[in-house]
Amino acid sequence: MVNKILGLFMLFSLLFTLTGQSQNPVWEEVAPGVWKSVVGSPDSFDLLKAAGVKPDIDALSKLGSADFPLPAGEIAAEIADGKTFLRFPLVKEEQLYGFGLNFKTVQQRGKILQLHVDHYGGTDNGRTHAPVPFYISDKGYGVFVNSARYITVYAGTAVRKDSPNAPEPRDRNTDKKWTSRPYSDAVDMVVPAGGTEIYLFAGPTPLDAVRRFNLFNGGGCLPPRWGLGFTQRVKSLYTADQVLEEARAFEERGYPLDFIGLEPGWQSKSYPCTFEWDRTRFPDPAGFVKAMKAKGIRLNLWTNPYVSPASPIFEKIGPLTGSHTVWGGVVADLTLPQARQIMLDQMEKDQVDLGVSGYKIDECDGYDRWLWPDVAGFPSGNSAEQLRQTYGLLLQKMTTDLYRQKNNRTFGLIRASNGGGSSFPYVIYNDYYSHEDFITALINSSFAGVLWTPEVRGSKTGEEWVRRMQTVCFSPMAMINAWSDGTKPWSFPEVEKEVKEIALLRMQLIPYFYSEFAKYHFEGTPPFRAMNLETGFGGKAVSELKNANLSENPYAEAITKEIKDQYMAGEYLLVAPLFKGETEREVILPAGKWYDFYTGKLAGEGEVIRVTAGLDRIPVFVKDGGIIPMMPPQLHAPAAGQKFDLEIRYYGTKPSVYQLYDDDGETFDYEKGAYSWRTITVAPDKKGRPAGKVSPAEKGKPDNIGKISWKMMTE
Ligand code: GAL
């Protein structure tokens, strides 16, 4: 039936030429539940090409087919004035999420945005580190525009006079129902190009649409196990000896540490960069990397992409760079394979082959003055705008490929990304330092196919320090970024104990988080995600909280309270951070029973609860039937082949099943099938008490699990 309708639309559409006339796009199902349409004449270069996306068709097939999620006759496209105009329908009470890494708001209906790669400047206006042209509807579908252009979005603000839902004009003088924002029934977009590809992702749930999007992009990244341990970035001008000393101090004091990040001072010159070691601070880079490795600690190197005249690659890369410089450095046209190769050769021989585990690639996002301007030209003929929208993707892709060639996983940091980047093992960070907004960004990252870390740098008080440490330990990368002031986890003696405990809890949770990342990779489910993607969230608890404050998103048709300060961490955990000055807060529990993570006691059921927590705890709740596999509080993540014991915690009363993922944790052999899932089951025994079972390790597959013990948390 659906195909018949689509066929009719196709026929209908072919009768017209697209130019200057609104059309219904023609859709082709390119994977189960994923439809593509080519509107006009798209640019030859786009987001998916920059990211080199290979859809995971097998995983998409497992999600199954679905009906076309929108009334196709209400989707419209038009080419005029050299631009593409797109329109997607909205119904009343429909809410929208996504449009990239926003920091202040989760609900996007009613917004006007221009999606533009930039350093976040304090307003959700579309300028952000990952302005992904993808949105999700709470009705359970997603829309993606595959264009590397600055796309303007009217997310339910524009009102057409021929709309069947056009609001009636009202008299402001006399009519109390007059509103400055009359009802709009569409998302409109302007793509400044003569055409574009558009994609539709079916649900049925919003989370399914997100999953399909991530799987279409190749599946989420699977970090190495060590990437989920703790990381400290040292002061910019630290020497090799100081870095070794830092590692020693962590060990002596009993703080976990898996990798150290070196900041600009490891390079002989930076801003622009030479991409080579500074021999005064690091006289023997190979020996230094080896000595660190011997302590079980890897190294991550900061760089920005601008090439200094003092760099050994400057001459060679010169002809392959753009017309403008950034901080006096040349800007490689990374859409050219030769330019990428020159940069990669330098990284490979000077750093990666020595054992450096990854990079933090800075300053590829903007603030306009810290980037090439839009008037710049590039030898490939791609525009400055297209390069800006994709530079972060290109850098992630080329470095990920280099590590794949070495069969060695990496996990790094990046300041810009975009649609198509789900599979890259990179986490976004920035210089903006609002703790609350960092958590909203963490929530929004789950709608954008990117990862985000609420990094910890400094704090005015020990209280703020521990609150920030608690959230970063429940995020994709547990990191202190002390590049400027050299803070250490123990810098606030009054909360030293609490900080150590949370860092060690992070280590204990590695088996759980690692399995959750495997689900990101194999099933597309974001490991840290918005409550709005959780089944059973909403309903009574949220509607009771109808937003009285309409100033941030005053869109009357769809307003419910925005939930931007609590989130899901994996399948079972709900994290409700406390911020500076707070000792208690409200937590909205989705449907079903929820239990306190620390005590196993019932916390509530589909309701709003008030919780208090001392500095030693971040409020965390576990869904009924929650199975949380934990390991001992080690100082380093288990290395390849190293066995670790499991303590499996079980919460609540519901019979339950959890899939525990295992592989070598370091190589790409999992891509060739060298991984296993162990099924953990809890069901009542004869006496009605919960009894747990773990399926045996598969023969010939990686098996890192040592002794298994159980902790039934709920009495
Ligand atoms: C900033 C970056 C910081 C730090 C610093 C070093 O651009 O966001 O995290 O790396 O550069 O100069």
Express each pLDDT in 255-303 by its tens digit: 999 999 999 999 999 999 999 999 999 999 999 999 999 999 999 999 9
58 lines ligand 1 (CB under 6 A): no
| Residue of 431, 433, 479 with the most ligand 1 atoms within 8 Å of its CB, for mutation | 431
Written out in words, the top-level CATH class of the domain with range 17-164+179-216 is mainly beta
**pLDDT score of 536:** 87
Whole-number CA gyration radius for the chain: 25
Q: How far is the CA of 131 from the centre of ligand 1 (A)?
A: 21
Q: Residue ranges per domain, the chain?
A: 17-164+179-216, 225-505, 528-622, 627-712
High-pLDDT (> 90) share of the chain, %: 91
204 prior amide bond cis, ω within 30: yes
> Alpha-carbon distance 308 to 182, whole Å?
53
Nearest ligand 1 atom to the CA of 302 is: 10
From the number of C-beta atoms within 10 Å of its C-beta (0-12, 13-18, 19+), residue 486 rates as middle
Q: How far is the CA of 362 from the centre of ligand 1 (A)?
A: 7
> Are 17-164+179-216 and 528-622 the same fold in CATH?
yes
Closest residue (by CA) to atom 11 of ligand 1? 362
Closest residue (by CA) to atom 3 of ligand 1? 431
pLDDT reading at 16 higher than 50? no
390 lines ligand 1 (CB under 6 A): no
Q: How far is the CA of 379 from the centre of ligand 1 (A)?
A: 29
Q: How far is the CA of 486 from the centre of ligand 1 (A)?
A: 13
Tell me which long-range contacts 427-431 makes (C-beta under 8 A, separation of at least 24). 427/451, 427/452, 427/453, 427/476, 427/477, 428/101, 428/129, 428/130, 428/452, 428/453, 429/360, 429/453, 429/455, 429/477, 429/479, 429/481, 430/119, 430/120, 430/129, 430/365, 431/119
**pLDDT score of 473:** 98
483 lines ligand 1 (CB under 6 A): yes
Written out in words, the top-level CATH class of the domain with range 225-505 is alpha beta
- Secondary element (H or E) of residue 360: strand 358-361
Instruction: Report, as an integer, the average pLDDT of 543-555.
Output: 46
Which CATH architecture fits 528-622? Sandwich (2.60)
264 lines ligand 1 (CB under 6 A): yes
pTM of the model: 0.95
- Report yes or no: 443 and 576 within 8 Å, Cβ to Cβ: no
* Predicted confidence band of residue 549 (pLDDT cuts 50, 70, 90): very low
* Predicted confidence band of residue 539 (pLDDT cuts 50, 70, 90): low
557 lines ligand 1 (CB under 6 A): no
431 lines ligand 1 (CB under 6 A): yes
Q: How far is the CA of 303 from the centre of ligand 1 (A)?
A: 9
| Residue of 237, 238, 263 with the most ligand 1 atoms within 8 Å of its CB, for mutation | 263
Number of H helices, E strands in the chain: 14, 36
* Predicted confidence band of residue 562 (pLDDT cuts 50, 70, 90): confident
Mean residue pLDDT across the chain:
94
358-361 and 620-623 strand pairing: unpaired
Q: How far is the CA of 635 from the centre of ligand 1 (A)?
A: 27
362 lines ligand 1 (CB under 6 A): yes
**pLDDT score of 704:** 96
**pLDDT score of 21:** 83
pLDDT reading at 40 higher than 50? yes
Nearest ligand 1 atom to the CA of 457 is: 9
Instruction: Report, as an integer, the average pLDDT of 149-161.
Output: 96
Instruction: Report, as an integer, the average pLDDT of 137-149.
Output: 98
Residue type present at position 533: L
